[in-house]
Amino acid sequence: MRISALLPSILIGAVSSARSMTPMAALAGAHLAGRPTPGRLILLGHPLFTFGALAMGVGELFGDKMKSAPDRTVFLGLLARVMSAGIAGSALAPRGRERTGAALAILTAVPLAYLTLAGRERAMRRVGQTRSGLMEDALVVAAGAAVVGASVRRRGLG
């Protein structure tokens, strides 16, 4: 199997590094649109988790702008990234390669969390917390939607 087959898992890990709930929200949106993922979609097959993922994705976008928002590299922030990247990376991996997809997504998300935090801190010094957060939101949400959208469409499953 070529690494390109696992590229969506790696890319969704990068998305998770900046916004932990965006991958889950993007997958929930694809699920609601009837677009199956290549790998098994763990948890999001249940309506409670589907709508919960969407709500948490939106909530994270608002919460990130608060002055009291913790850094993404605190323990709970990294744990959320590991869980989200693992589930999303598994769902976007080819059938039978879910564990590899999950591992690659996690191995991408955790170190990139530190790099995306450094970039955000630089942007905050230049344009402030709210504006930098909105710019990061636009980039990350678009990337998450693009990775998930291309993955379900590219594989001809939808």
Q: Give me the pLDDT at residue 1, please.
A: 64
Q: Give me the pLDDT at residue 110, please.
A: 97
Instruction: Convert the pLDDT of each residue in 63-89 to its tens digit.
Output: 877 778 788 999 999 999 999 999 999
Whole-angstrom distance, CA of residue 85 vs CA of residue 21: 9
Q: Give me the pLDDT at residue 2, please.
A: 81
pLDDT band at 129 (very low <50, low <70, confident <90, very high): confident
- Alpha-carbon torsion, ordered 19, 32, 153, 17, to 10 deg: 10
pTM over 0.85: yes
Nearest to 72 by CA among 80, 132, 100, 105: 80
Q: Is the pLDDT of residue 153 over 90?
A: no
Quote the mean pLDDT of the chain: 91
The domain locations on the chain are 3-153
Nearest to 22 by CA among 112, 99, 111, 84: 84
SS3 content of the chain, % helix, strand, coil (to 5): 75, 0, 25
Q: Which of 2-6, 19-23, 102-106, 111-115 bottoms out in mean pLDDT, i.e. has the lowest? A: 2-6
Q: Give me the pLDDT at residue 42, please.
A: 75
* Mean pLDDT of all residues in 87-103: 95
Q: For residue 154, how many C-alpha atoms fall within 13 Å in the half-sphere facing its CB?
A: 15
Q: Give me the pLDDT at residue 138, please.
A: 96
Q: Give me the pLDDT at residue 155, please.
A: 47
Q: For residue 72, how many C-alpha atoms fall within 13 Å in the half-sphere facing its CB?
A: 28
Whole-angstrom distance, CA of residue 146 vs CA of residue 1: 23
* Mean pLDDT of all residues in 34-44: 84
Q: Give me the pLDDT at residue 76, please.
A: 94
Identify whether the C-beta of residue 85 lies closer than 8 Å to the C-beta of residue 12. Answer: yes
Q: Give the amino acid at 78.
A: L
